[in-house]
Amino acid sequence: MTDSTPTLNDSQLRVKALATLKQELGMAATLRFLALINQNSTDYVKISRQIYEEQQLDEIFSRAKQNWKG
């Protein structure tokens, strides 16, 4: 899995994410989703495990090295 999307700053990421949600879900569902996110605590470890469960560790590290800006 390779990501050819250019790196976005935080503001650009917010705008793109909201536009994508609105396009895919519509305005009402997007607002409902945002309310749910703010209302419930989020288990980011659980989400990360779901995101990376199909990937090999070397793939993840390789992608991280490519995107590292340190």
Per-residue pLDDT of the chain (70 residues; tens, 9 = 90+): 455 667 889 889 999 999 999 999 999 998 998 888 888 677 878 888 888 888 898 988 888 888 787 6
Residue 14 lies in a domain: yes
Domain assignment present for residue 2? The answer is: no
Domain count, the chain: 1
| Residues 21-54 as b or e (16 or more Cβ within 10 Å = b) | beeeeeeeebeeeeeeeeeeeeeeeeeeeeeeee
Question: What is the per-residue pLDDT for 1?
Answer: 45
Is residue 48 domain-resident?
yes
Whether residue 1 lies inside any domain: the answer is no
Cα distance between residue 9 and residue 29, in whole Å: 25
* Element spanning 27, H or E: helix 27-39
